[in-house]
């Protein structure tokens, strides 16, 4: 069984990977121009996901700092929750990109 510190470190690494994936999706979406009037829900979703990304990146940094001082079950739960939230935000971006691609016929 993995130690508490090891589990938190694993969650942080996975969260960092998910954050990079979100950043890649944001970069992809910025290369596509969609008329805001034609697909307002896509832009709303992208804006919401971008706000969520910023908040979660801040939480990831807080977890990194906290993990330096050791890990306990509370930190494990926080890191696990963050990983899940980043996964959900990534799915939001993927959904928004699908909307962009569908509307442009790509």
Residue 11's nearest CA partner among 99, 96, 78, 97 is 78
Report DSSP state, residue 34.
Answer: -
Place of tokens 């979406």: 29
Answer yes or no: is pLDDT of 98 > 70.
yes
pLDDT tens string 54-82: 898 999 999 999 988 888 889 999 999 99
Per-residue pLDDT band for 106 (boundaries 50, 70, 90) equals: very low
Higher pLDDT, 90 or 59: 59
């Amino acid at each position: 069984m993995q130690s508490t510190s090891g589990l938190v470190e694993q969650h942080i690494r996975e969260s960092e990977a998910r954050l990079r994936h979100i950043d890649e999706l944001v970069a992809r979406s910025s290369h596509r121009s969609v008329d805001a009037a034609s697909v307002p829900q896509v832009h709303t979703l992208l804006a919401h996901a971008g706000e969520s990304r910023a908040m979660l990146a801040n939480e990831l940094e807080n977890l990194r700092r906290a993990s330096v001082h050791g890990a306990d079950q509370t930190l494990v739960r926080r890191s696990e929750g963050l990983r899940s939230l980043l996964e959900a935000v990534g799915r939001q971006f993927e959904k928004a990109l699908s909307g962009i691609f569908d509307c442009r016929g790509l």
